[in-house]
Amino acid sequence: MRLLAVEDNPDLVRMLGRLLEDAGFAMDHAGTVEDALLVLRSGEYAAVILDLGLPDGSGLSILREMRSWGDKTPVIALTARSAVADRVAGLACGADDYLVKPFAPEELVARLQALLRRTGTIVDQVIECGNVAFNPASRDVEIAGIPTILSARELELLDVLIRRHGRVVPKPAVEAQLFGLDDDLGSNAVEVYVHRLRRRLADAGASAQIVTVRGVGYMLGERPEPRPAA
């Protein structure tokens, strides 16, 4: 799978190349707005990693240009500014995700995979969180290497949570996945299924757990290792 990195810092380009190669991607790169537009017109890329601060202009102009000619390639914007205004502008211009420098390399890879999964570029891949593995295509679940049977609703719940594991999934999104939009659901319907799945995971010896962020939603994450003494 080929990605394009639009980034002007040669060191970062080299490190990105190594990182993405390790993650199973091939990477081309462009250092300027001009080059990027040229390359994007000719090549087919699974995703674009786009630095917003380029020597000859803003990455946002590339994004706008791409979208204007109908290129729907998923784009992760990188910025050195934490400004929410930048993020809003980026998303408004059609960026699919957004990372602020300095970012953890694994975060970039995770976001890329999530993005490709969401856009259907990655389909067959098994999603893993700790020792919990989920195959979205076959809907098979393995916990600690042992195939586990879950009920349909439990599967839906695991599906929505594991696709965005490590991040909080808002409760409305969970509800929509579990019940569709039409179902009339009780006030604690989601809690019931979360409770069930949580117990199933624990019983099967999963190293991942569902945590409740009360007032916001749920998150599937690996159990924290005991904190090393600082």
Partner 1 sequence: MRLRFGSLLSRILWWHAIAVLFTALAVSAGVYLFLDSTADRFQRDTLRIHAERARGALQAGAPGTTQIAAPNTGALDPPRTFSILVLDTAGRRLSGSGSAAAIADATIPRRSTPAYFVRRSRAAIFSGYSLPSVLNGSRVWIVAVQNLEHPDYIVDDIVKQFLLYGLAIVSPLLLLLLAVDAWIVRRALRPVRHASELVRTLNPQRLHVRVPEAQLPSEVRPLASAVNAALDRVVESYRTQRDFTADAAHELRTPITVTRMRIEAVEDPLLRAELKRDLDHLGRLVGQLLEIAELDGTLPALDDVVDLRGLAQETVSAIAPLVFRRGQSISLSGTEDPVQVRGNGEMIARAMNGLVENAVAHTPEGTAITVDVGADGSFRVCDDGPGIREDEQELVFRRFWRGDRSTADSSGLGLAIVSRIAEAHGAVVSLRSGDGETVFSIRFPLYAPPARDA
Interface residues toward partner 1, by CB under 8 A = 9, 11-12, 15-16, 18-19, 53, 80-85, 100-105, 166-168, 170, 211-217, 219, 221, 224, 226-228, 230
On whether the CB atoms of residues 165 and 208 are closer than 8 A, the answer is: yes
Residue 84 or residue 149: which is nearer to partner 1 going by CB?
84
Residue 116 or residue 220: which is nearer to partner 1 going by CB?
220
Q: What are the distances in angstroms from CA 132 to CA 136, 161, 165, 213?
A: 13, 12, 11, 21
Residue 127 or residue 148: which is nearer to partner 1 going by CB?
127
Q: Round to whole Å and give the CA distance between 200 and 149.
A: 10
In the complex, least distance from residue 216 CB atom to partner 1, rounded to whole angstroms: 5
Neighbours of 60 (CB within 10 A): 21
In the complex, least distance from residue 71 CB atom to partner 1, rounded to whole angstroms: 26
In the complex, least distance from residue 217 CB atom to partner 1, rounded to whole angstroms: 7
Q: Name the DSSP class of 119.
A: T
Residue 38 or residue 216: which is nearer to partner 1 going by CB?
216
Dihedral angle over CA of 89, 34, 27, 166, nearest 10? -10
Residue 105 or residue 135: which is nearer to partner 1 going by CB?
105
In the complex, least distance from residue 39 CB atom to partner 1, rounded to whole angstroms: 21
What stretches of the chain show up as alpha helix (H) in DSSP? 10-22, 33-42, 59-68, 84-92, 105-118, 152-163, 171-179, 189-203
Neighbours of 59 (CB within 10 A): 26
In the complex, least distance from residue 161 CB atom to partner 1, rounded to whole angstroms: 13
